[in-house]
Structure 1
Amino acid sequence: MHQTAEQQVAEFLDVLRFQQRVSPHTLASYSRDLAQLKRYCELHGISSWEELVPAHIRDHIASRHRDGVGSRSLQRELSAIRSFLNFLVNRRRIADNVARGVRSPKTSRKLPSLLDADQMNGLLEGLPEDELEIRDVAMWELFYSSGLRLSELVSLDTQDLDLDSGTVLVRHGKGQKSRVVPVGRCARQAIQRWLELRPGYACSSEKALFVSRRGKRIACRTVQLRLERWQVKLGLPQHVHPHMLRHSFASHILESSGDLRAVQELLGHANLSTTQIYTHLDFQHLATVYDQSHPRAKKRGPGSPVT
């Protein structure tokens, strides 16, 4: 492609990096996605973004789908392309966003894995054997008590927590949106135990609520590995990851309250449709109870009399 076209991509990525302050992961994804579009243009003799038409975008996405790229990845690629072309429209470099009406292949939505209430109690009531396990239990309690994402938990500072009022301020939610969520009694007790030990681990200038044995803010990967270690220690057969605790929180709250809007606010979802997946989980649970208990829904073995 023409050098001007490549320069426009670089300008767009700079806006994401310095003005919108997107995460390094998002920046890398957008860079790869636009590189794929650029490669398509070069193969088809398209030298500038002004030459693109909707048929080009559809053909590009279709060819990526034929190459085995999944629907979720294609949705992200389309999002990157739309954002970039919107940038060019706003800068008056092109007249229209030709990707606006292009749709990606539909994907079947998988229901998230979660733990039932008894399994969660088993996970949270394991006895810590050392100080770092006391920290770990505080993290597991907070995940389940407040429905936090992994990135949100590791980003917490001590000043974000108010144990007296039983709340925590999530400053760095998805899309840089903040929210205040409740912290339950068991989580407050577990966190208080960790706060009594934290001064012996945290560096003097460290603000993070949860720190590693080196005294710095704990890393996401460390949290994942510690949860896997805790699962093995307790002998739980199911693989447990941090997001499973968030899913369990959402499903259990919805099952008890039926208040989808409240769950949306607690999770920090921008769209209610994202939260609605938990209604499917709730129905799945009800359907299982129905199949097991309704007299005319129970499965009968061959030759069993009709009751």
Structure 2
Amino acid sequence: MIKKTTSGWQVDIQPQGRGGKRFRKIFANLAEAKNWEAFIRSSTNKDQDWIPEKKDLRKLSEIIKIWYEAHGKNLSNERDTYSRLKNMVTALKDPIADQLTPQMFTKYRSERIEGGLSLNSFNREHSYLRAVFNELIRLNLWKKANPVSAIRQFKIADKELGYLDADEIKRLLTELLDAEKNSDVYLIAKVCLSTGSRWSEAENLRPSNIKKGVIEFINTKNKKMRAIPISKELQDEIQAHDVKENGRYFGSSMGAFKSGVARAGIALPDGQLTHVLRHTFASSFMQGGGNILTLQKILGHQSLHMTMRYAHLAPTHLEAVKLLNPLVNL
């Protein structure tokens, strides 16, 4: 911009736009002012290395929205993830994303934990925000470093993995079979116990998912299909079950399962309601001499680390200790 002032013709320009370096100078006449303006614009176009980096003034809420439109809305749990991220933005008071520091996030973390949030839940929140910036960097929509990547997550002690013994399984299935208001819960539980599937995977089964003695779990947590063999008896039992109007065999049945557990008098570790069936399958598989790598494929774990939680249940687990400890050679 060039304008006439009492001192002469003033040039006031920002060639790189808002946030870029500003150039101002006064000249005696308009021609000199125009020449200098053209020189500055030409110079900045030719050599931009010396120009200070343009400030990114986008707020964290804008960054989250960009991530959602570019990637997040395609996730299976997009609503829950987006909601959590927006709540984090509000709690952090929606700072300019470029000014989000580890100190700010650490303060937010302390407040959340003091408010009763579990360490495991906060680790999940941290993972969500870190993943947002990582994805935007990958898509070339964020030019700087990930502001929360240097923050370490809390180490969580391994929880007790509850699983049912034979007597508990019989009591539970009896109660589920007798459930008056839900005819689906019994079969869902049998599918979980027979295949190690997650409750939601079994609950969403359709006729097309069962073929020639195999159940194909399609909408899995890691988006990979798993094909698990089942007995002919279980296949016949499922296929004889009425299909709902939505094309699925079963309706929502977690409440009925919880009631059945209570009636069977079974006490479960916190947070392991329907998941106890998956743990029970894995425990039985390893106690029966199953291979840990095979179990990983059956459960659909991306990392063997998750499956190793069941390794100690194998009959020969660490048996070599008795033969290879130093006292044996004394």
- 1:248-289 CA-to-partner distances (Å, cap 9, x unmatched) read 011110111242111111111111111222235x289x9xxx
Evaluate the alpha carbon distance shift between residue 100 and residue 130 of structure 1 in structure 2; reply closer, same or farther with a 3 A threshold: closer
Determine if the alignment matches structure 1 residue 102 to structure 2 residue 151: yes
Q: The residue matched to 2:255 in structure 1 has which SS?
A: helix
| Number of the residue aligned with 1:116 | 165
8 Å Cα contact 2:133/2:142 also seen in 1: no
Distance in 2 of aligned mates of 1:258 and 1:101: 40
| Number of the residue aligned with 2:267 | 238
- 1:5-32 CA-to-partner distances (Å, cap 9, x unmatched) read 4322222223344334534223322332
| Number of the residue aligned with 1:215 | none
- 1:42-97 CA-to-partner distances (Å, cap 9, x unmatched) read 6xxxx422223444444443443344432111211211121122244343433111
Give 5+ residue unaligned stretches, structure 2: 1-55, 318-330
8 Å Cα contact 1:82/1:97 also seen in 2: yes
| Number of the residue aligned with 2:121 | 73
Distance in 2 of aligned mates of 1:9 and 1:225: 34
Shifted more, 244-253 versus 134-143: the winner is 134-143
Q: CA deviation at 1:209?
A: 2.1
Give me the CA root mean square deviation: 3.2
8 Å Cα contact 1:117/1:252 also seen in 2: no
| Number of the residue aligned with 1:15 | 70
| Number of the residue aligned with 1:268 | 300
| Number of the residue aligned with 2:140 | 91
| Number of the residue aligned with 1:209 | 249
Determine if the alignment matches structure 1 residue 28 to structure 2 residue 83: yes
| Number of the residue aligned with 1:158 | 207
Q: The residue matched to 1:169 in structure 2 has which SS?
A: strand
Does 1 or 2 have the higher relative contact order (CA < 8 Å, sep 6+)?
Answer: 1
TM normalised by structure 2 equals 0.67
Shifted more, 117-126 versus 144-153: the winner is 117-126
- 1:208-236 CA-to-partner distances (Å, cap 9, x unmatched) read 122xxxxxxx12xxx12222343455x43
- Residue identity opposite 1:138 in structure 2: L
Q: Which is richer in strand?
A: 2
Larger Rg: 2
Q: How many residues align?
A: 258
8 Å Cα contact 1:16/1:27 also seen in 2: no
TM normalised by structure 1 equals 0.71
- Residue identity opposite 2:199 in structure 1: L
| Number of the residue aligned with 2:291 | 259
Give 5+ residue unaligned stretches, structure 1: 211-217, 287-307
Distance in 2 of aligned mates of 1:121 and 1:96: 55
Matches within 5 A, 1:138-217: 138-162=187-211, 165-192=212-239, 194-195=240-241, 198=242, 202-203=244-245, 206-210=246-250
Distance in 2 of aligned mates of 1:61 and 1:127: 42
Evaluate the alpha carbon distance shift between residue 142 and residue 261 of structure 1 in structure 2; reply closer, same or farther with a 3 A threshold: same
Identity of aligned pairs, percent?
21
Evaluate the alpha carbon distance shift between residue 263 and residue 4 of structure 1 in structure 2; reply closer, same or farther with a 3 A threshold: same
Evaluate the alpha carbon distance shift between residue 152 and residue 59 of structure 1 in structure 2; reply closer, same or farther with a 3 A threshold: same
Q: Which is richer in helix?
A: 1
Distance in 2 of aligned mates of 1:127 and 1:71: 34
Evaluate the alpha carbon distance shift between residue 63 and residue 132 of structure 1 in structure 2; reply closer, same or farther with a 3 A threshold: closer
Distance in 2 of aligned mates of 1:6 and 1:173: 30
Q: The residue matched to 1:110 in structure 2 has which SS?
A: coil
Q: CA deviation at 1:130?
A: 8.4
Evaluate the alpha carbon distance shift between residue 253 and residue 283 of structure 1 in structure 2; reply closer, same or farther with a 3 A threshold: closer
Evaluate the alpha carbon distance shift between residue 241 and residue 63 of structure 1 in structure 2; reply closer, same or farther with a 3 A threshold: closer
Determine if the alignment matches structure 1 residue 225 to structure 2 residue 280: no
| Number of the residue aligned with 2:328 | none
Q: The residue matched to 1:181 in structure 2 has which SS?
A: strand
8 Å Cα contact 2:58/2:97 also seen in 1: no
Q: The residue matched to 1:96 in structure 2 has which SS?
A: coil
